[in-house]
Amino acid sequence: MLHKMIRALVADDSSIAREVVKDGIRLLGAKRYFEVSAVSDGKEALSVLQKKPVDIAFVDVNMPGLSGPEVVAAMKQTQSKDCLTIAMSASMNDRVEAVLKDFGAYHFLQKPFRAENVAEIISSYILMTEKYPVLVVDDSATMRKLTRKILDASRFNFEITEADSAESALRAIKSGTFKMVITDFNMPGADGLELAGSIRELSSKIAIYMMSTNDTTYLERSAAFIGINGFLKKPFNAGDIDALMHKLLGLDDPSFGKVREVFSFMERERLKVAS
């Protein structure tokens, strides 16, 4: 199977840091072909980002010329606006962290780091680019369209199929191969819990996530008992989808991404214990 080449940028005024990142990229050389641009200051980094679409960028926070946060902030106006960005530094204050998060940076590598740390992040990126067949089940065409839009905005790559009822969802599942199902709870006929039970009779491998405007502990516990993987309270966004996918695939939570429990009652109980 042919894979798209990954364009990587390494921007750091330290030649040692640049080499460690490049060593980490080389560890993944057997999985993908990489084109690596290595630069030593922020102005050069921005020039690369403007000239061609970069897929993943490792950007030092403190660089001569333009700083790392300034490069990340300007990135949205370049061909690399969807780039997965990893900030690098020995330390980071709250102000810098807030800027990086606001402008969509993904992760933070604290110096000194090893090539294996870089390879782990790139492995996560490769998993994000894999295609994940997902079935969206909702009797509302408007909600299906909105959910599709949210999935398309995720960092992960989804192949989306829609169903307007539990019955049509089960037909689709029997004739297709899905990594996950995102289903509404309130539907005419069989509801989301009933659908989840039927899916679990067919497969234990399909991940199931329930959507609902309700937030009751009873509903979430019932969903967990049936074997649903998580609960999405409406409204949710692409960050929630990314957080669920990180848990589903066993990836480390990104420094600047949303972190959430798969069921909100778990978070409530954790807070009770902490208090």
By DSSP bridging, strand 34-39 and strand 6-11 are parallel
Asked if domains 6-128 and 130-274 share a fold, the reply is yes
User: pTM to 2 decimals?
Assistant: 0.87
pLDDT tens for 124-153 read 999 999 999 999 999 999 999 999 999 999
Helix locations, the chain, DSSP H: 15-26, 42-51, 68-75, 94-102, 115-129, 141-153, 166-175, 192-202, 217-226, 238-249, 264-274
In 3-state terms, what secondary structure has residue 158? strand
| CATH T-level topology, domain 130-274 | Rossmann fold (3.40.50)
Does residue 71 surpass a pLDDT of 60? yes
Q: 199-235 b/e with 16+ CB inside 10 Å = b?
A: beeeeeebbbbbbbeeeeeebbeebbebebbbbbbee
Please state, in angstroms and rounded to a whole number, the distance separating the CA atoms of residues 247 and 167.
29
39: nearest Cα among 24, 26, 54: 54
Length of the chain: 275
Closest to 56 (Cα-Cα) out of 91, 30, 24, 16: 24
Peptide bond into 64 cis (omega under 30): no
User: What average pLDDT does the segment 215-224 reach?
Assistant: 77
Domain ranges of the chain: 6-128, 130-274
Identify the pLDDT of residue 24: 97
pLDDT digits (tens, 9 = 90+) for 157-215: 999 999 999 999 999 999 888 999 999 998 999 999 999 999 999 999 999 999 888 66
CATH of domain 6-128: 3.40.50.2300
Judge contact between 68 and 16, C-beta under 8 A: no
Which pLDDT score, from 0 to 100, does residue 271 have? 46
- Residues 255, 203: Cα–Cα separation, whole Å: 33
Angle, alpha carbons 25-255-120 (nearest 5°): 25
pLDDT at position 257: 82
In the 8-state DSSP scheme, what is residue 167?
A: H
Q: What is the pLDDT of residue 268?
A: 52
- The answer to whether residue 15 scores a pLDDT higher than 90 is yes
